[in-house]
Amino acid sequence: MADETPPVDEMHYEQLAQDALRGVIRSALELAAGPSGIPGAHHFYITFKTRAPGVSIPPDTLAKYPDEMTVILQHQYWDLSVDADRFSVMLKFGGMPKVLNVPYSAVTRFYDPAVQFMLQFEAPETVEELTAEPEPTPPVPSGDDGPKVVSLDQFRKK
54 located within any domain: yes
**42, part of any domain:** yes
Q: Which residues contact 110 (CB under 8 A, 6 or more apart)?
A: 24, 25, 28, 44, 45, 46, 47, 118, 119
Q: What is the rounded CA–CA span in Å between residue 36 and residue 128?
A: 39
Q: What is the domain-level CATH number for residue 76?
A: 2.30.30.220
Of the pLDDT bands very low, low, confident and very high (cuts 50, 70, 90), residue 127 is low
Q: Report the number of distinct structural domains present in the chain.
A: 1
| Sign, CA torsion 121/123/126/129 | negative
What is residue 108's predicted lDDT score, i.e. its pLDDT?
Answer: 95
| pLDDT confidence of residue 65 | 94
The model's confidence at residue 1, banded by pLDDT at 50, 70 and 90, is: low
Helices (H), the chain: 13-33, 59-64, 127-131
Average pLDDT taken over every residue of the chain? 84
Does residue 106 belong to any structural domain of this protein? yes
Residue 60 CB neighbour total at 10 angstroms = 12
For residues 147-155, average pLDDT: 47
Beta bridge partners of 119: 110
User: Distance between CA atoms of 47 and 39, rounded to whole angstroms?
Assistant: 21
- Asked whether residue 154 is domain-assigned, the answer is no
Confidence of residue 150 (pLDDT cuts 50, 70, 90): very low
Per the CB < 8 A criterion, the answer to whether 29 and 82 are in contact is: yes
pLDDT digits (tens, 9 = 90+) for 73-119: 998 899 999 999 999 999 998 899 999 999 999 999 999 999 999 99
Cα separation, 60 vs 19, in Å, equals: 30
Q: For 42-65, how does the pLDDT look when each residue is reduced to its tens digit (9 = 90+)?
A: 999 999 999 999 999 999 999 999
Residue 157 domain-assigned (yes or no): no
Q: Which residues pair with 78 in a beta bridge?
A: 90
Residue 128 pLDDT more than 80?
Answer: no
Could you tell me the residue range of the domain that residue 95 belongs to?
A: 13-123
- Mean pLDDT over residues 144-152, rounded? 46
Say if 146 falls within a structural domain: no
